[in-house]
Amino acid sequence: MKSAIIACFLYFLLSTAFTSPSNAGDALTPRRPISDDGSTLTSDGGRFQLGFFSPVAGSPNRYIGIWYNISVRTVVWVANRRSPVTGRSGRLSMSENGTLLLTDGRSSTIYWSSSSLALQEPEARVLENGNFVVMENGSNPSSSAAWKSFDHPTDTLLPGMKLGWNLSTGLNRNLTSWATSGDPSPGDYVAGIDVAGVPQLLVWSGTRQIWRGGSWNGIGFSGIPVMRQDNTLTQNNALTLHYEFASNADEAVYWFYLENSTSLLRLVLNGSGLLERFLWYDFGKRWMPLGAAPDTSRNPCDERVSSCGANGVCGPRASTCTCLQGFRLNSRRTWGDGCERELPTAGCRSRNDTFVTVNNTKLPDTSKATVNRSTASLDMCRDWCLRNCSCTAYAASNLSGNGSGCLIWTSDLYDLTLYDNEDPGQDLYVRQVESRALNKGLSANSLLRRASVLIIVSVVLVAFLLSLLSCWIWRRKKRSLYCDEEETEGKDLDLPLFDLNTIAEATNNFSENNKLGQGGFGPVYKGRLVEGQEIAVKRLSKTSSQGVDEFKNEVMLIAKLQHRNLVRLLGCCIQGGERILVYEYMPNGSLDAFLFDGAKSTLLDWKMRQDIILGIARGLLYLHQDSRLRIIHRDLKASNVLLDKEMTPKISDFGMARIFGEDIEGNTRRVVGTYGYMSPEYAMHGIFSVKLDVFSFGVLLLEIITGRKNRGVYHSTLYLNLLGHIWSLWKEGKVMELVNESIDHSLSAAEILRCIKIGLLCVQERPRDRPTMYSVLKMLDNDNALEIEPSQPGFVDFRGPLHQTNLSIRKQDLSRNYVSVTMPQGR
C-alpha cells in the first residue's frame, strides 16, 4: 500500500503545481497599465499575483505588491512601501522605454518608480518564482531582465532569490522588516551580508548590529549551527532544501532553493528582527514556521553582539563571560572592555608559539579576518598563522568535505560564543605566547609558588600510594574469605547458554536463506534446533559497552520477564566475539508486514486489530509497571511487534538499552529509536520516560487503525505526517475517512472513534498530558464516554508549548553524532 505520505504529497503537488494558468500571458506593457480596480498580473503557473492591495482591510492606503495565490494573503514584495497611494486612483504604468511608474490618476504624483530603463519594446511579467521583471518583449526573462524585483527585496527572501552583494555593480540586496504587520514601510531591522573582511550575515537596527549570523563555513552560517544539519533535508525524499553561498570577486550572496519541489517556502525578517522560515501547509491552509534565527532560548549569547568584549568568550547555555586562555579581565573589570593578554607580547611573536583549541564555537567576528580558500589542511593554516606576527587565531574556513581553507584573525577576537554539545560548532585555535617567554619572566614570588605546588603534589602522591597499598591488602584479605564466589556465580544462571556451533547448525551457518530481517541491533535468523524447536536468532552487530558478566547478567534479567505479550528470550550465546540472543520463533512475522501490505491487511478486521492493540498495551504495561525491572522499551514500533500463530501480538526487542549498558532512565546522549515513533522530548533532548513508550504506542495504535505509516517527518515535511493529518481531520470531525478500508466502520464506529481518541491522547506533545499505560488499558477496556479531549500531537505545529525550541533543534539532535535511528522501510 502506498503510504499516506506519498498520497498526501501528491495531493499537495497537485494542489499547488498544476493550478490552471487562467491568466497565462499576463504582461504589463506601455499600452496595458494596471489600475486599482482588482486587476492583477498573474505568473504563468498561477502561483504569484501582482496588484494593488491594502495590508489592513478597509484601509485607504494602497500598495503595489506581489503575493502568493493561496487562501492566506501573503505579500512577498511591495513596490511603494514608503509611499502608499491613498484611495483607489493608483495606476502602475510603463513608459515607452520600460521604466515602471506608480502614479495617481488625478494628480501626476509619482509614488514609486523603477530605475530608468532604455528598452525598445518593453514588457513586464511576474515569473513563477515570484520575480517581477522588465525586459524586451519575448526575450528570456531569466537571463535578460533589465530590471527585477528580486534586486530590490522587501522583507522576504524566496527560493532562488539572492541576499547580498553584486560586487561589480555595488548592488546590495538586503531585507528590511515591515514597520508593523499592517504597515509595510521600512521597520527597525535590516538583514544582509556584510562584506567587510570575510563576509558575514548580520542583522542591524539602524547602524547597530543586533545579531551576527556569522561567516559561511561551507555548509551554513557559523552563527546558525543548525544549518550544518539542515543543509539537505533528506529525511523525506520529497523535499530537499539546499543552502548556497558564493563569495568571490563578483559577489557575496546567500540563497536557498528546493530541489524538485514546488512547495512554497519563504524566509522573512520579521518585526522583531528574527529571520523566520515558513513552509506552506496545504492541508491546514496555513504557514508552518520551520524555525527562526537567532534562537536565544538555545543560545542566550545571541541576545547581544559581543557582550563579553574583546577576547571574551560567551556561553555555553548562558550568557556568562570568561576570558580566553592566556587572557585576563581588564583592569576596569567590566566585560564590555574585554580581556587582555596576561603576558605582553614583545615584538613579533615566535614561530614556536602554540595554540589552544577552543571547541565547538560560533567563530568570532570576521570583519577583520582574512581567508585563504585554497589552503588544503589545518596544518598549513596553522603555518600561515605562525608566519604572520599579528595572527591571533585560525580556523578552517570550509567544513564541507574534510575541512579546508583557512581563516586567520589578526586582531582581538570579538563575539566568540561557545555552543553546548547539542549544537555543532567549529573549533578555533587561539595563539598562546610561547612558554619560554614565560620562564624568563618568573619572579621570586612565582618561584615560591612553584615550590609550594611541588610540596603539595608530593604530599598528594604519597597519600595516594599509601591508600593504594591498603586497598591491595584489603582486597587480598577479602579474596581469601570469599574465594570460591566467582565460581558459583556462573552456576546460578538459569538462562541456557547456547553453544555457537549449535546456533550455527540451527541457522545453516547464518545463511541468507534463513535471514528473517535486519533489526536495529543486527540481523535476525530463523533456526531449528536438533530437537525440532524453532528459534529466532538475533546476532548482535553492535558492540556493547558491557563486559561479558554484565551482559550475561542483563540477559538473564530480561529472560526473567515473561508475559503473554512479550517475545520470550530463550537464551544467549557469548563466544568467539559473538553476542547472540535466542528467542522463541513467531511464525506470523511482524505486525508491519500485515498492516502496510494491501493484501495482508484485509485479513485484519476490527476485532483482530482491537485485540492486537490490547495485547500490545498489556505487554507494555507489564514492562512499565508489573515487571521487577521497569523497562522502557524506547523503540516500540510495528516491526517490533511479532505475531504468533494465533495472531497474539508479542513485543520484541525490549530491554536492549539494558543489554547494551545504557542509562536506565532520564536523559541520554544517544537517541535510539525510529523516526515517526519518537516523542518530541526524546527526539529533541534525549529525555525519556515511560511516556516515550506511551507516545510510540499512540502512533502504533493510530497506524493499526489507519493502516498508514507515520513516517519520520520532522520540520520540512510536517504536513505529510500521519499524526498531523489525523489531527486536522479529527478537528474537522472527519477522522473516520482515514480508517483502513478493511475495517467495517458501520458496525463499530463509536469504538473506533474512541480508540483514535485514546491514540491521540497518547501522542500529545507534553509528556505529562499523556496517560500512563495503566490508564490507557482502563480506557481501552471500558466503553464509557471519554470526557478528556486530546491536545495537539507532538510534531504537528511549532507554536505549541515547545515552540521556543524551534525545529532546528530537532534536526540537530538527530545528527549522526549521537543518534542511531532506523528509518522505516518504504513498501
Q: What residues act catalytically?
A: 635
**What are 793's three cell numbers?**
500531537
Residue among 124, 128, 152 at smallest CA distance from 136? 124
Q: Kindly state the smallest distance separating residue 152's Cβ from ligand NAG, in Å.
A: 8
DSSP one-letter string for 282-316: TTTTEEEEEEEES-TTT-GGGGSTTTT-TTEEE-S
Identified binder of ligand NAG from the candidate list 270, 502, 588, 602, rule CB under 6 A: 270
Nearest to 630 by CA among 774, 492, 760: 774
One-letter amino acid identity for 518? Q
User: What's the min distance (Å) between Cβ of 505 and ligand NAG?
Assistant: 46
Please, which residue, 259 or 342, has the CB nearer to ligand NAG? 259
Pick between residue 351 and residue 560 the one whose CB is nearest to ligand NAG.
Answer: 351
Contact pick of 61, 103, 174, 721 for ligand NAG (by CB under 6 A)? 174
For every residue of 58-112, DSSP letters joined together read: T-SEEEEEEEESSSS--EEEESSSSSPEESTTEEEEE-TTS-EEEEESSS--EEE
Site string for ligand NAG, 271-290 (x = CB under 6 A): xx-x-x------------x-
**DSSP helix/strand/coil, 550:** helix
Taking CB under 6 A as the criterion, the residue among 13, 17, 19, 602 binding ligand NAG is: 19
Quick one: which of 39, 74, 83, 166 contacts ligand NAG (CB under 6 A)? 166
Residue 313 CB, nearest distance to ligand NAG (Å)? 12
CA distance 315 to 338: 15
- Binding ligand NAG (rule: CB under 6 A), the pick from 109, 142, 144, 169 is 169
| Binding residues among 134-163 for ligand NAG as defined by CB under 6 A | 137-138
113-132: which residues touch ligand NAG (CB under 6 A)?
A: 116, 118, 123
- To ligand NAG, the closest distance from the beta carbon of 329 in angstroms equals 20
Site for ligand NAG in 315-354 (CB under 6 A): 350-352
Assess contact for 746 and 771: CB atoms under 8 A.
no
Q: Segment 367-426, which members bind ligand NAG (CB under 6 A)?
A: 370, 372-375, 380, 388-390, 398, 400-401, 404-405, 410
DSSP state of 518: E
Is the preceding peptide bond at 294 cis, omega within 30 degrees of 0? Answer: yes
* 204 is an interface residue for ligand NAG by CB under 6 A: yes
When binding is defined by CB under 6 A, the residue of 69, 154, 231, 299 that contacts ligand NAG is 69
Regarding 168 and contact with ligand NAG (CB under 6 A), the answer is: yes
**In whole angstroms, how close is the CB of 175 to ligand NAG at the nearest point?**
8
Is residue 40 exposed (0-12), middle (13-18) or buried (19+ Cβ within 10 Å)? middle
Residue placing its CB nearer to ligand NAG in the complex, 378 or 613: 378
Place of cell 493550478: 19
Asked if 731 and 722 count as a contact pair (C-beta separation under 8 A), the reply is no
Selected from 3, 42, 222, 546, the binder of ligand NAG by CB under 6 A is: 42
Pairing between β-strand 369-372 and β-strand 426-432 as defined by DSSP bridges: unpaired
* Residue 6 CB, nearest approach to ligand NAG (Å): 13
CA pair distance 263, 12, nearest whole angstrom: 8
Cell for 206?
Answer: 539602524
**Candidates 18-26, 470-478, 555-563, 613-621 — which segment interacts with ligand NAG by CB under 6 A?**
18-26
Give 336-373 as a DSSP string.
Answer: GG-EEESS---SSPPTT-EEEEEEEEEPPP-TTEEEET
Residue whose beta carbon is closest to ligand NAG? 401
**The one-letter amino acid at 596:** F
Q: Report the interface residues with ligand NAG, using CB under 6 A.
A: 19-20, 22-23, 27, 29, 42, 46, 69, 95, 97, 99, 116, 118, 123, 137-138, 166, 168-169, 172, 174, 190, 192, 204, 218, 237, 240, 250-251, 259-260, 270-272, 274, 276, 289, 292, 350-352, 357, 359, 370, 372-375, 380, 388-390, 398, 400-401, 404-405, 410
